[in-house]
Structure 1
Amino acid sequence: MTTLIVGASGATGRLLVEELLNRGQTVKIVVRSLDSLPKAIKTHANLVVIEASILDISDAEMARHVRGCHAVVSCLGHNLTFRGLFGGPHRLVADATRRLCDAIRANEPAGPIKFILMNTTGNSNRDLNERISLAQKCVIGLLRVLLPPHLDNEKAADYLRINVGQNDPAIEWAAVRPDGLTDDTEVSEYKIHTSPTRSAIFDAGTTSRINVAHFMAKLISADITWGKWQGKMPVIYNAASA
């Protein structure tokens, strides 16, 4: 199996790269720089590196990079700096999602390709009646106006829900929603839910990045896990805060 990962140099992306390589998969990564990746990953025989900014790649190149992949994963996000939060590109995640899906379709694959988006519990799955308090709705409304990355995450998931939907012949998808991210060093017990079980704003739980990487790797490699969650937006919590 071959998986293409964008955002592979990020805190969660590089853990997913390592997890998939340890499982014997071939991994393609699109990164602007290899500096943040450990030497063991950079020199791995099953790693294919594409050094580029994802939004600078042409449509034809994007289709070529996606060709032959069984899964595509976006771990893209905005850096938690003033420039990362308020500078461009404001639609990094949404635009990359759209362009990667276009590239998958351009190749006319014989069967559907898995697309996995790393998202957030702050974004509701509007295919479901996920109840949130009025206070949380007000805060989320402010975040849409004041913090461009939040709206970007919503738009990316909405593209999958609306534009790809449940019956696209080329793409099947899942949007993984972790809560407050932590940097644990080992995989621990975690729980997966259809919808949040606590308030992302007023009662946030915790999710270790390494658990997110482990779950996404299961989505890619285990048909039973994928069959349960494809076309959905699973929420992942560490078991201690589930």
Structure 2
Amino acid sequence: MTILVVGGTGATGRLLVSELLERGQNVKVILRSADKLPENVKNHKRLSIIQASVLSLSDADLTLHVKGCAAVASCLGHNLTFHGIFGPPRRLVTDATRRLCNAIRANKAEVPTRFVLMNTAGNSNRDLDEPISFAQRCVIGLLRLLLPPHLDNEKAADYLRINIGPSNEAIEWAAVRPDSLINETEVSPYEVHPSPTRSTIFNAGSTSRINVAHFMADLITDDEIWSKWKGQMPVIYNKGH
């Protein structure tokens, strides 16, 4: 199986690339610089590096890179700098999701391609009646107005929910929603729910990046897990957090 990963040099993306390679998968990554990849990953025989910005690629090139991939995973996010938060591209995640989905559809593969998006527990799944307090709605509303990356995450998931939908012939999708991200060195027990079980704003849980990478890899490589969560926005927490 060949998987395309975008955002593969990010804190979670690097871990996903490593996890997929350890599982014996062939991985293609689109990235601006390979310098951020660990040496053992950068020189891996099953890794192909496409050095470019995903939004700078032409439609034809993006279609070519997606061709033959059983799955596409996006760990894209905005850098936590002033320019990264407020500067262009303000719709990095949404535009990349849209263009990658268009590339998948252009290839007209015989079986649906899996698209796994890393999202956030701060984004509600509006296909479900997820309970949100008035106070949390107010805070989320402010985040939507003041922090462009939050709205970008919402729009990216909405694109999958609305534009791709639950029964697309070319694409099946899942949007993984971790809560407050932390760094750990090893995979630990974690739990996955259809919706948040706690307030992201006032009672946040925690999710290690390596657990997010492990679960995303499970979605890509495990048919049973994929069947359970496709078309949904699962929320992942470290167990006991």
TM-score interval for Structure 1 and Structure 2 normalised by the shorter chain = over 0.9
Q: Where does residue 133 of structure 1 map in the other structure?
A: 133
Q: In the comparison of the two structures, how many residue pairs are matched?
A: 241
Please give the TM-score of this superposition, normalised by the length of structure 1: 0.99
* Amino acid of the structure 2 residue aligned with 1:189: P
1:199 and 2:199 aligned? yes
How is 1:67-146 mapped onto 2 (pairs within 5 angstroms)? 67-146=67-146
Q: Look up the SS of the partner of 2:240 in the other structure.
A: helix
Tell me which residue corresponds to 2:233.
Answer: 233
The whole-number CA distance in structure 2 between the counterparts of 1:49 and 1:175 is 24
Aligned to 2:5: 5
For residue 46 of structure 2, what is the amino acid of its counterpart? Answer: N
Displacement of 1:69 after TM fit?
Answer: 0.2
Matches within 5 A, 1:170-185: 170-185=170-185
Shift of 1:211: 0.2
Q: Which deviations, in whole Å up to 9, do the C-alpha atoms of 1:163-183 show, x marking residues without a partner?
A: 000110000000000000001
CA distance in 2, matches of 1:206, 1:161: 25
**Which residue number corresponds to residue 186 of structure 1?**
186
Q: What's the CA shift for 1:209?
A: 0.2
Deviation at 1:18, TM superposition (A): 0.2
The runs of 5 or more residues in structure 1 that have no matched partner are: none
Match in the other structure for 1:156? 156
Stretches (4+) displaced over 3 A? none
Shift, 1:83, TM fit: 1.0
Partner of 1:57: 57
Residue 40 of structure 1 corresponds to: 40
Could you say what secondary structure the match of 2:185 adopts?
Answer: coil
1:44-93 CA-partner distances (Å, limit 9, x unpaired):
00000000001000000000000000000000000111111111100000
* Structure 1 equivalent of residue 215 of structure 2: 215
TM-score of the aligned structures, taking structure 2 as reference length = 1.00
Structure 2 alignment gaps of length 5 or more? none
Identity among equivalent pairs (%)? 68
Q: Secondary structure, in 3 states, of the residue corresponding to 1:115? A: strand
